[in-house]
Structure 1
Amino acid sequence: MILYLHGFCSSPASWKSRLMAEAMAVRGLGGRFLCPQLSPVPAQAVADLGRLIEAAEVPPTLVGSSLGGHYASHLAAKYGLAAVLINPATVNALDPAKFIGEHANFHSGERFVFTAEHAGQLAAQVARPDPARTWLLLETGDEVLDYRQAQAFWFGCRQSVFEGGDHSFTRFPGMIPQILEFAGI
């Protein structure tokens, strides 16, 4: 099972989520892919995901992009799961003041406010999962997050660092077969 965790201001309609869902469906595994809409409140997002993980028939592999990578790291550590982190948010290295304020979901347009309390919730979730079960995918051209912060924080984990690209992780379509292999699918 793949549990895909989208990024900040994103949704299950993101291109990576849709591509992963299509790849799973082509393999006849559409029912083993899940990408829920995450709450903009970090504590709520993690609580909701924890319930999904606990209810899963088989332990899922977490695939998280950007803020979803942060959540995947936290949940992989908590539940002993495998995780693929795609240009993940290295929360302990970010200035939360840059994110405090009103935002809109990229796909639905739904507006929400990210507060200092929410930033504190993220900081409390910082966790490094088992390096043997964690794969970090980075592009050096990420214009939103400094890939070197993730490289340093997840030192010791399997890392694939690609020159160029951007925050969306442009190489994602070509990486799907390897991600599914990593997940044992």
Structure 2
Amino acid sequence: MKTTHLLYLHGFRSSPQSAKARLMAERVRRDHPATVWCCPQLPPSPAAAMELIRALTADWPRETMAVLGSSLGGCYAARLAVETGCARAVLLNPAVQPARDLAQYIGEQGSWQDPTERFYFRPDYVEQLRAIETGTLPHPAQCLAIIAKGDEVLDWREMVARHPGVQLRLVEGGDHGLSDFEGAHLDAVIDFLQLA
């Protein structure tokens, strides 16, 4: 069945204005106008972020919805896929141990897209992250993971080990933000999602 609803989840310190989010939004608008597109600004609190994600997708049809997440958004996407059994999930350099990795960022932070936008990453957010980390996906064949060996933020080996059985695009080199997303990966993501 075609995907009728698509949720995009950005990463830590990112926003719906990230390059990948904007590229996906434009492609969906241009080529798949019947697909419901949702790309919210996620709050800094992981618990609040998951509450928002669940609320936004509460009435979406599980058998035709998909979620796409980048970095920390990949962790949220994996959690949503486990909870909903949604049709498809795409993980882009997904965070698999964000509680460990983001503990060093406690304090005031700025957005990548707009450094004047500040937020405070609180110590209790680390525990909130620990509560939503997922193990292996129950339906890995319904997931596409794009993982760059050159990721300078996350360990590609951990990402691959956490998501066995997924449709894996392992990139030689590359970077955490998948700066080659438009030319090297966008079409594959669109094809995998089978958008309406």
How does the TM-score come out when normalised to structure 2?
A: 0.87
User: Could you tell me which amino acid in structure 2 is paired with residue 138 of structure 1?
Assistant: I
1:27 aligns with 2:31: yes
One-letter amino acid of the counterpart of residue 48, structure 1? L
Structure 2 residue 100 is matched with structure 1 residue 94: yes
**Cα distance in 2 for residues equivalent to 1:27 and 1:122:** 35
Stretch moving more, 104-113 or 88-97: 88-97
Provide the alpha-carbon RMSD of the alignment. Answer: 1.8
Asked if residue 80 in structure 1 is aligned to residue 85 in structure 2, the reply is yes
Aligned-partner Cα distance in 2 for 1:95–1:14 = 21
State the one-letter code of the partner of 1:68.
G
* Paired residue type of 2:190: L
Deviates more, 1:77-86 or 1:122-131: 122-131
User: Where does structure 1 differ by over 4 angstroms across 4 or more consecutive aligned residues?
Assistant: none
Q: Which 5+ residue runs of structure 2 have no aligned equivalent?
A: none
- Higher mean C-alpha deviation, range 106-115 or range 7-16: 106-115
* Matched residues, number: 185
Per the alignment, in what secondary structure is the counterpart of residue 146 of structure 2? strand
* Equivalent position of 1:106 in the other structure: 112
- Post-superposition Cα deviations, 1:114-158, rounded to whole Å, max 9, x if no partner, equal 122101111110123321211110111111111111011112222
Percent of aligned positions that are identical: 39
Unmatched segments (≥5 aa) in structure 1: none
Question: Matches of 1:30 and 1:170 in 2, distance apart?
Answer: 28
2:145 corresponds, among 133, 136, 139, to 136
SS at match of 2:49: helix
Structure 2 counterparts to residues 163-174 of structure 1, below 5 A: 163-173=172-182, 174=184
Match of 1:122 among 126, 129, 133: 129
Inter-partner Cα distance in structure 1 for 2:89 and 2:14: 19
SS in structure 2 of the partner of residue 85 of structure 1: strand
1:184 corresponds in structure 2 to 194
Of 125-134 and 157-166, deviating more is 125-134
